[in-house]
């Protein structure tokens, strides 16, 4: 099948426990991809195929599956909801054309759904909303749609109304066709009847149908004028308008049901076909130059264009390394040679497979619009562009957040080092937010990640998948250093000891830079007192020293160095002499510039039942948190705060104890802030003691 208008590349994303994976299971069952449903709470779902996912009942890595509905091909990606794995959501959204945002009928818009919604807005992905779990106590479809408006600032277009509430929920009314879809109690998705609207719902249906038509016809001026003159548009015209509005992110068609009880899913799948864009209708990907700057050209989605594809995920499993790629244009055949524009090297395409979660079907051919996996690619990493060697191009790369937490690990037995090295190498290739470093002084292996759960699961994977038992140190916070004062200074490096000497003199200013600016170097030297060819060496010297600050050898952030004068010797000066001078200057001047320890501050979003709000706020204050906002909902209160990461270790246990197990929270890195003196002194003393022991 090569008609791109029949393709839908969609992702399913939401908060933890809203029912994304269950919704994916139902889609696969309805489309005939699987015959036995696997439940998340029994650890048997198709897309949660990692041991850790089955045990914990959460999704950790996004899984890709292909299926068909009404002669349309769906490539579905089920993404994680937990904040430590949002990189999986982010990179999946980069290659999708549309999405289904799943919200819990009783929980509503929860912290993580907000983060994922923001990512989808950034990536300009068209979405349908599915309010799930309407059979639960406290579920209220219209309340959730109000939350979508107020909390997410989105515009839900209500397409169906639920019949019955909570455990009386039996089906939905389709507002377009004015038909009621009622399921029986067998729980089989195909066991439903299409009936007339229940008498007590007639007024509501007409009210909401009118709102639907008013929003839809705004997409077409002629239809709007005709509607204002009393002429009702046809269902085909309305669908066309809804499709335009969905594609342009003007509104989001909103459906409801119960994925677990198989109610309401068919209408959701029809909506994917009717309203979500095909690959040709989406704004094409930007092409960039080697530095990552847009060139102004786009990757047109067409099978007749040269090959352009983006590797968005690497996965290592029992069959070898898999590289997931989204093909934007052109065709790809087994045996083709493709160019990796990041490395400049070519690779031959061996086996190509279509993914069915962790099973695979061998294919020989793929084309624009497809999401496939290639087996055994050697040098391709997440975000690399694969293209036709005769038409080199680079697609817009992915930017990943920096890790904020680290742990030291060591293999329990002596023979485990090599095994651990190989395993960690594979895992780093799979997950761009997971990093590994070797401490140059102690030789310890340091794992870095996005949160406690992230690193906990990595250690678990090393143990079970790769058979490497580890001893794990306490979590370490990624502290940084900066300066608070501007200092003007001079430094001369002079060495005379037989033969040619070394000489380099620099006059410079060191001052605090803007927050988030990192390291900035400027030269305002005039008159050739420092020859131009030596200036890059001076910059290099300062830049290398930024890795170890004056207080406790933490990396230095937000410092600006200005070179304004200096001196050189016609014979003894060299690039090396000036680089050494810059390093000496850093050591000499940084202690004078008011060095300060800064710590990562997290955006913390806590959900708690109302009767525990006081306890939760008191606890956040004790953790040096700054409360920013409180929002009361029907089922509880959301509290937003900025809290230092160092105070958040083990927080989930405390929160569950305080709220009788009903509290939830998510956090993501926000910014760096100065440490209070008492905290800074303790951290610096502990770090110096640790370094002294090495």
Residue 324 has pLDDT above 50, yes or no: yes
3-state class (DSSP) for residue 650: coil
How does DSSP assign 315-328, residue by residue? Answer: EEETTEEEEEEEEE
Per-residue confidence (pLDDT) for residue 512, from 0 to 100: 92
What is d(CA 586, CA 2) in angstroms, rounded to the nearest whole number?
Answer: 61
Per-residue confidence (pLDDT) for residue 505, from 0 to 100: 92
Which part of the chain has CATH 3.30.70.240? 599-679
CATH class of the 485-593 domain in this structure? alpha beta
Residue pair 385/340 in contact (Cβ under 8 Å)? The answer is yes
Phi-psi category of 566—alpha, beta or left, where left has phi over 0 and alpha has psi -120 to 50?
A: left
CATH domain 599-679 topology: Alpha-Beta Plaits (3.30.70)
Which part of the chain has CATH 3.40.50.300? 4-206+246-281
Stated pTM of the model: 0.65
Other beta carbons within 10 angstroms of residue 277's beta carbon come to 22
Q: What pLDDT, in 10s, does the model give residues 266-305?
A: 888 889 889 988 887 777 666 665 555 556 566 567 777 8
Residue 624 has pLDDT above 90, yes or no: yes
Which part of the chain has CATH 3.30.70.870? 405-476
Q: What pLDDT, in 10s, does the model give residues 40-75?
A: 333 333 333 334 433 433 333 445 677 777 888 888
What is d(CA 389, CA 385) in angstroms, rounded to the nearest whole number?
Answer: 11
CATH code, residues 4-206+246-281: 3.40.50.300
Per-residue confidence (pLDDT) for residue 634, from 0 to 100: 62
Report which DSSP code applies to 4. G
Q: What pLDDT, in 10s, does the model give residues 654-687?
A: 887 888 767 777 777 888 889 998 888 888 888 8
Other beta carbons within 10 angstroms of residue 400's beta carbon come to 17
Which part of the chain has CATH 2.40.30.10? 305-395
CATH code, residues 305-395: 2.40.30.10
Domain 405-476, CATH number (from 3.30.750.24, 3.30.70.870, 1.10.132.20, 2.40.70.10): 3.30.70.870
Q: What pLDDT, in 10s, does the model give residues 531-581?
A: 888 999 999 999 999 988 998 888 998 999 999 999 988 888 888 999 999
3-state class (DSSP) for residue 417: helix
Per-residue confidence (pLDDT) for residue 57, from 0 to 100: 38
Q: Rg (Cα) of the chain, in Å, rounded?
A: 29
């Amino acid at each position: 099948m090569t008609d791109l208008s029949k393709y839908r590349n969609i992702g399913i994303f939401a908060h933890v426990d809203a029912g994304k994976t269950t919704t994916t299971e139902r889609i696969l069952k309805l489309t005939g991809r699987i015959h036995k449903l696997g439940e998340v709470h029994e650890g048997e779902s198709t897309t949660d195929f990692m041991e850790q996912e089955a045990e914990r009942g959460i999704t950790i890595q996004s899984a890709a599956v292909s299926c068909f509905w009404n002669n349309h091909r769906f490539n579905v990606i089920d993404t994680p909801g937990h904040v430590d794995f949002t990189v999986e959501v982010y990179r999946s959204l980069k290659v999708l054309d549309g999405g289904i945002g799943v919200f819990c009928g009783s929980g509503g818009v929860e912290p993580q759904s907000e983060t994922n919604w923001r990512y989808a807005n950034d990536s300009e992905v068209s979405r349908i909303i599915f309010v799930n779990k309407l059979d639960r106590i406290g579920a209220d479809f219209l309340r959730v749609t109000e939350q979508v408006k107020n909390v997410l600032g989105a515009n839900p277009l209500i397409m169906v109304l639920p019949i019955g509430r909570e455990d009386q929920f039996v089906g939905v009314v389709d507002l377009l066709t004015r038909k009621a879809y009622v399921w029986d109690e067998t729980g089989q998705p195909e066991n439903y009847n299409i009936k007339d609207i229940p008498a007590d719902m007639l007024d509501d249906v007409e009210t909401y149908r009118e709102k639907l038509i008013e929003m839809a016809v705004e997409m077409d001026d002629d239809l709007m004028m005709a509607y204002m003159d009393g002429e009702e548009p046809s269902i085909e015209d309305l669908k066309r308008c809804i499709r335009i509005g969905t594609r342009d992110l003007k509104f989001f068609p909103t459906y409801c049901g119960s994925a677990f009880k198989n109610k309401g899913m068919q209408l959701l799948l029809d909506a994917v076909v009717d309203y979500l864009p095909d690959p040709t209708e989406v704004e094409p990907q930007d092409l960039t130059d080697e530095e990552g700057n847009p060139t102004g050209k786009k990757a047109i989605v067409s099978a007749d264009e040269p090959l352009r594809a983006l590797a968005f995920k690497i996965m290592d499993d029992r069959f070898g390394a898999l590289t997931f790629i989204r093909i934007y244009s052109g065709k790809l055949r087994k045996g083709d040679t493709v160019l990796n524009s990041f490395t400049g090297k070519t690779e031959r395409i061996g086996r190509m497979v279509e993914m069915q979660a962790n099973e695979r079907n061998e294919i020989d051919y793929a084309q624009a619009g497809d999401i496939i996996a290639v087996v055994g690619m050697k040098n391709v990493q997440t975000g690399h562009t694969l293209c036709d060697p005769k038409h080199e191009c680079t697609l817009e790369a992915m930017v990943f957040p920096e890790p904020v937490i680290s742990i030291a690990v060591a293999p329990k037995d002596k023979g485990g080092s090599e095994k651990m090295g190989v395993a960690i190498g594979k895992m780093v290739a799979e997950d761009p937010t997971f990093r590994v470093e070797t401490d140059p002084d102690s030789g310890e292996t340091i794992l870095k990640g996005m949160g406690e759960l992230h690193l906990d699961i990595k250690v678990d994977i090393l143990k079970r998948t790769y058979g490497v038992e580890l001893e794990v140190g306490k979590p370490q916070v990624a502290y940084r250093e900066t300066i608070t004062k501007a200092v003007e200074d001079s430094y001369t490096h002079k060495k005379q000891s037989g033969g040619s000497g070394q000489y380099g003199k620099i006059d410079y200013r060191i001052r605090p830079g803007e927050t988030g600016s990192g390291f900035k170097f400027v030269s305002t030297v005039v008159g050739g007192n420092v020859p131009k060819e030596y200036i890059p060496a001076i910059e290099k010297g300062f830049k290398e020293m930024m890795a170890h600050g004056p207080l406790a050898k933490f990396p230095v952030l937000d410092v600006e160095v200005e070179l304004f004068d200096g001196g050189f010797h016609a014979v003894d000066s060299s690039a090396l002499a000036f680089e050494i001078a810059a390093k000496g200057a850093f050591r000499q001047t940084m202690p004078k510039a008011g060095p300060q320890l800064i710590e990562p501050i997290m955006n913390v979003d806590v959900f708690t039942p109302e009767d525990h709000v006081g306890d939760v706020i008191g606890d956040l204050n004790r953790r040096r948190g700054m409360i920013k906002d409180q929002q009361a909902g029907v089922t509880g209160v959301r509290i937003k705060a900025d809290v230092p990461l160092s105070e958040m270790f083990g927080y989930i246990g405390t929160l569950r104890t305080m709220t009788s197990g009903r509290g939830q929270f998510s956090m993501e890195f926000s910014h760096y802030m100065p440490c209070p003196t008492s905290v800074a002194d303790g951290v610096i003393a502990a770090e110096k003691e640790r370094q002294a022991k090495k």
